[in-house]
Structure 1
Amino acid sequence: MHRGKGMKFVGDSRVKSDGRKVNVPKDYSEYPGKTEAFWPNFLLREWMVGAVFLMGFLCLTLAHPAPLEAVADPLEAYIPLPDWYFLFLFQLLKYQFASGMFNIVGTVVIPGLAFGALMLAPWLDTSKERRPHRRPIATSLMLLGVASVIFLTWESVDQHDWEAAAEQGQLVIPGEIDTEAEGYLIYAEQASCIQCHGDQMTGGAGNPNLLETEKTPEEVIEIIINGQGAMPGGQFEGTDEELEIMAAFIANHGEDPEE
């Protein structure tokens, strides 16, 4: 380029002859009533709105506290259920190809491929088209992923035993029992009784609550000797007289029958 060609002098600065200038945005003060400063006007308003929502959220947590369950019991069968946004992954582990010996497939391989594809999507699909029908591969993969998540989530909700889940882990308020009664002292010495029905006789893990029984002492003795259902017989370690005292105590709902 020859000296001075395409250039013109304006004072001490040089500006291209085509007249193009850098697009510098105007200051917000040049638009009175239409814009405002980020600090402190905009940011202060955002903080105030956030504080209102936070107070509302705190009021909801106080009015509707989280439902608590009983202390975890390793002897009690528990049906787990994750939060709704993980239900599709939870359902995936129920299939044979992604559980058991192939658990690594359901926990690492399939989720890793799915989320890895989402992270690499900007580099895998470099097309400038944004209309779905012009991007058949990307659109098909996305529709397949959305359909899979919806289907697995629905299957997880549909196959979950909601009635059993509502009963599990319930907080059982211990009934008032006479721990000084002779029947309770005999009951407390029986390891098999304590292990299945607890020291408060409220049961758990599929074992009945002894405080709610409507059986007679004779029926209680019959069950203890011969067993019933999953309860084996012959577990009582004591004399026949002690068995009668304990059976009468149980039939009287944890109270001394002589009082």
Structure 2
Amino acid sequence: MQRGKGMKFVGDSRVPAEGRKPNIPKDYSEYPGKTEAFFPNFLLKEWMVGAVFLVGYLCLTVAHPSPLERMADPTDSGYIPLPDWYFLFLYQLLKYEYASGDFNVIGTVVIPGLAFGALLLAPWLDNGPERRASRRPIASALMFIGVLATVYLTWESVENHDWEAAAEQGQMLDEEEAELADQVDTEADGYQIYSDQGCIACHGDQLQGAGSAGPPLFDTQYDVETIKEIAVDGIGEMPPGQYDGSEEDLETLAQYIANGGSPDGGDETGGDDAEGEETAEDGEAEEETEE
């Protein structure tokens, strides 16, 4: 045999290839008819299914737009939070005694970490060749427990949530109420007392109310004396003893609330002009006295 006869250097780029092989899936005799080429056969199916779901989701968002709530108020301590539906099971988990409070780390880190870690390890814990769920007990049991716990906690979260209070607290103000809220004077002394006494937590930063926590005050029908009594003695779900300031500040606060958030009864000239008018009236009174 001559040197090099019958040999071909297939790894040498200078030797042209005989031709491309067709994109035919490998023949696995143990799985007849169950194999196909990843590209483009399998990948094209995935893209088509994804496109159908995407179009369906876009149609759903057009037909049922996301509901809008009122503007977020960081001072509203009575707001009832609710996460998105896919986090409701974790939200419900944190309501239990040994997963919240002093044990908050257990509910937020330990339990979810163990659960998701077990699901991640499932392929290695049960790595047999069987494809049926009944013949892969470890992986199937972990998946069943995970799905069951998620569904149960999500259901409990939905059942225990106060949907009426949530709808009330998220209700947006109408045009008239929004206009009244915009007219609230946040620079007045009454507003400072209103904020210091913690009224802002239940009645909003513009006296617009906070849903079920407290009604709006910019259009209250109570007079000054009634407001003073309510601040001290409480009313309805408002407990007594909420006010702990002086009588002078209580009078200023009651006047401010009775006037709809305006210290001068809604006079557009503002507090400075009102003080100037009072000074002028005092001067005229003094002149009449001297005469």
2:214 is matched with 207
Q: Deviations over 1:142-178 (max 9, x none)?
A: 2222111111110111111112222225444434389
Moved more, 92-101 or 64-73: 64-73
TM-score normalized with structure 2 length: 0.55
Q: Deviations over 1:79-123 (max 9, x none)?
A: 221111111112111112222222222222222222222222222
1:249 is matched with 259
2:242 is matched with 232
1:115 is matched with 116
Partner amino acid for 1:207?
Answer: G
The separation in 2 between residues aligned to 1:126 and 1:177, in whole angstroms, is: 64
- Alignment coverage as a number of residue pairs: 217
Q: Give the superposition deviation at 1:236.
A: 6.3
**Distance change >3 Å, CA 237–CA 204, structure 1 → 2:** farther
> Are the equivalent residues in 2 in contact too, given 1:70–1:170 (CA < 8 A)?
no
Q: Secondary structure of the residue that 1:211 maps to in structure 2?
A: coil
Segments of 5+ residues of structure 2 without an aligned counterpart are 9-19, 25-38, 268-291
**Distance change >3 Å, CA 91–CA 245, structure 1 → 2:** closer
Residue 176 of structure 1, aligned match among 165, 180, 185: 180
Q: Give the superposition deviation at 1:237.
A: 5.2
The separation in 2 between residues aligned to 1:178 and 1:103, in whole angstroms, is: 40
Q: Secondary structure of the residue that 2:71 maps to in structure 1?
A: coil
> Are the equivalent residues in 1 in contact too, given 2:99–2:106 (CA < 8 A)?
yes
**Distance change >3 Å, CA 256–CA 26, structure 1 → 2:** closer
2:129 is matched with 128
Partner amino acid for 2:117?
Answer: G
The separation in 1 between residues aligned to 2:85 and 2:104, in whole angstroms, is: 21
> Are the equivalent residues in 1 in contact too, given 2:80–2:166 (CA < 8 A)?
yes
Supply the RMSD in Å over aligned alpha carbons.
4.7
1:189 is matched with 189
Moved more, 131-140 or 111-120: 131-140
> Are the equivalent residues in 2 in contact too, given 1:217–1:250 (CA < 8 A)?
no
1:82 is matched with 83
The separation in 1 between residues aligned to 2:146 and 2:21, in whole angstroms, is: 43
The separation in 2 between residues aligned to 1:240 and 1:126, in whole angstroms, is: 73
Structural mapping, 1:1-259, within 5 Å: 12=6, 24-25=21-22, 53=55, 57=58, 60=61, 64=65, 67-172=68-173, 173-176=177-180, 188-190=188-190, 191-194=192-195, 196=199, 197=203, 200-204=206-210, 206-216=213-223, 218-224=225-231, 227-228=234-235, 229-230=238-239, 232-233=242-243, 235=245, 238=248, 249-250=259-260
TM-score normalized with structure 1 length: 0.61
The separation in 2 between residues aligned to 1:248 and 1:170, in whole angstroms, is: 24
Partner amino acid for 2:139?
Answer: A
**Distance change >3 Å, CA 135–CA 79, structure 1 → 2:** same
